[in-house]
Structure 1
Amino acid sequence: MTWIVQEVGGARVIPLARELDAEALPALVEQLEELFSESRLRLVFDLSRCPQVSSNALRLFLQVARRVESQRGAFALAAPTAEVARLLELSGVARLVKVLPSVREAIEATAQRDRLATLAEVVRQLLARAERRGGS
């Protein structure tokens, strides 16, 4: 199975339109590996048509969040169905991964995080420059 990756507002959006079980996850992981090569990846999983998620999928959400954020990117889950939202809450995933009610809000949230990362990088560069000048 191939997952569709859409570019929307500078973010990569993957609509997860089927149950995320042991059969579906390997193809998704393979496609994600290709995306992880991008620096400062903004990634959104659209869960609006995903009826259920397995414990492996919940684990994957956490792994993706860690990996994307370690590369100064941003990750969010968007528009989960009521059942999936409940699982995200009960499992604790919703405390560790940004979950938003719509894809649009998730894209905006990843853009905001990207802007903050850019600002933080500029501040680091300015501080390093000031330190070099002060040290000479």
Structure 2
Amino acid sequence: MPPLTLAHQHLPGVIVIAVTGEMDATNRAQLETYLRKSRTDPSERLVFDLSRVPFMDSSGLHVLLTCFTDCLRNGGAVHLAGVQPLPARLFEITGVVAHIPVHDTVEDAITAALTSERSI
């Protein structure tokens, strides 16, 4: 299995976090550590580019949900982009799609994140 690769870009009003590789129990800690280091403000709007994530298990999902909850609690937002078929099925089965916006492209997710109302 290829290693998880993470990168982020701070744009005005949003951080785009690009994830490459499988998100599972073997790299959960790596993802959590990366998110703690790359986020500077808990009220940020985040876009996760998942276009290069072919597989995600419940560990990866848990990290995304924890991040979503933290952002929501602090007035931020999380948007997902480019979700591949297997992770999309996981989001559908678990009901995540009812709570976290999913977009076809990173550009669509950025636009939505910047135009959405901040949570209170």
Normalised TM-score (structure 2) = 0.85
In structure 2, the partner of 1:57 is 60
- My pick for the range that moved more, 51-60 or 5-14, is 5-14
Q: Deviations over 1:44-76 (max 9, x none)?
A: 111111010011111222111110111111111
Query: 2:29 aligned with 1:19, yes or no?
Result: no
Report deviation, 1:36: 4.3
Structure ranking higher in strand proportion: 2
Q: What is the Cα deviation at residue 39 of structure 1?
A: 4.5
Q: Is this contact kept in 1: 2:24–2:57, CA < 8 A?
A: yes
2:42 & 2:91 partners in 1: Cα distance?
Answer: 27
In the alignment, does 2:79 pair up with 1:76? yes
> Aligned runs of 1:1-136 on 2, under 5 Å?
3-113=6-116, 116-117=117-118
Q: Is the contact made by 1:2 and 1:27 (CA closer than 8 Å) also made in structure 2?
A: no
Say whether the 8 Å CA contact 1:45–1:78 is kept in structure 2. yes
Contact 2:48 / 2:81 at 8 angstroms: preserved in 1? yes
The structure where helix makes up a greater share of residues is 1
The unaligned stretches of length 5 or more in structure 2 are none
Shift of 1:37: 4.0
Q: Deviating runs (4+, > 2 A) in structure 1?
A: 7-10, 34-37
Mind listing any 5+ residue stretches in structure 1 that lack a counterpart? 122-136
Measure the CA separation in 1 of the matches of 2:68 and 2:42. 14
Larger Rg: 1
3-state DSSP of counterpart to 2:67: helix
Identity %: 32
| 8 A contact 2:42–2:70 mirrored in 1 | no
Instruction: Give the residue type in structure 1 aligned to 2:22.
Output: E
Distance 1:49 1:2 in 2: 10
Q: TM-score, normalised by structure 1?
A: 0.76
Report how many aligned residue pairs link the two structures. Answer: 117
Structure 2 letter corresponding to 1:106: A
